[in-house]
Amino acid sequence: MMQPSGQEEDATAILKELKEISNRYSCSRHEHKLVASSDPSRASELTGKENANVERDGQNDPVRQNKFLQQTGENSDLNQYWYSKTTIDTLCNAIRECNLISGGKRIAFLSTPSLFFSLSEEERENCVLFDVRLYPASAFLFYIINSSLVLPFTFKFDTSWNSCGGYHFYDYNDPTNIEDSCFGQFDLVVIDPPFISQSVWELYAVTAKLLLKKDASSVIATTVDENAVLMAALFDCKPVLFRPSIPHLVYQYSVFVNFESSTLAHKNTELK
């Protein structure tokens, strides 16, 4: 019998980790019913113990009040989910608070497009989004090696963000492949990787440390509670009281920061 390769063992371990966390936080997922409105297309499934989606009601629909959420679909095949409108607003206010306290201006967004595009055009003049966007070219087929998506002839790069000021193509598998002009230029880095594994976070940490100014190292990161020790080791970050709502993600994230934030010092009323 052939022995599994190291890559196969890593992939199996990652999938097991995701399944365990998913089960832990979603045991009541299927107990919830659909919340229906007069328009059936507006029904949304409430998922997770603490991550219940906000009921949508006509013009008060928070998604319709955020241009990014309205125009940009999620992609579960790429583990790509968006924060809720309220969470986006809160995290953006925390970003503003951090810059106000530190006197900084420049912000790097690593795989956090919903936050970047929810800032005003004036605010984005001092920001850069490092991310990659893909769309399906054929069947949705992929597999995972070392926590990385391998896409054999099934996805193409979406270039729709290329014309947006402040957007830089970024592949976390090549964490040092960023423009030299970006090195040591940022006061704050905001990070939300597509995977929660240590190996992926270590790659993002390499990029973050290249981007941050030597005399400033403010970080906002979102991940599961199980990564608290890792966040402390990589960024000296601690969890705050505010926890993000990610309506279609079955397990609950926390926010980790390495600075004092009054904006994040309260519970998220979206979570029940």
Q: Residue 155's pLDDT is what? A: 43
* Arithmetic mean of pLDDT, 87-110: 95
Q: Residue 163's pLDDT is what? A: 53
* Nearest of 10, 5, 4 to residue 197 by alpha carbon: 10
In the numeric block, the tokens 């990029």 are attached to 207
Q: Residue 220's pLDDT is what? A: 98
39 pLDDT more than 90 = no
* Arithmetic mean of pLDDT, 140-151: 46
Q: Residue 9's pLDDT is what? A: 56
Distance CA 211, CA 206 (A): 9
* Arithmetic mean of pLDDT, 7-32: 45
pLDDT higher for 39 or 150?
A: 150
Neighbours of 173 (CB within 10 A): 12
Mean pLDDT score across all residues of the chain = 76
How would DSSP label each residue in 33-93?
Answer: PEE--SSGGG-EE--SSS-PPPPP-GGG-TGGG-HHHHH---BGGGTB----HHHHHHHHH
Q: Residue 242's pLDDT is what? A: 98
* Arithmetic mean of pLDDT, 106-126: 94
Q: Residue 191's pLDDT is what? A: 98
Q: What is the pTM of this model?
A: 0.71
Q: Domains along the chain?
A: 6-257 (3.40.50)
* Arithmetic mean of pLDDT, 15-34: 41
Q: Pick left, alpha or beta for residue 173 (phi over 0 → left; psi -120 to 50 → alpha; otherwise beta).
A: alpha
Distance CA 4, CA 107 (A): 42
Q: Which residues of 211-224 are buried (b: 16+ CB within 10 A; e: fewer)?
A: bbeeeebbbbbbbb
pLDDT higher for 265 or 81?
A: 265
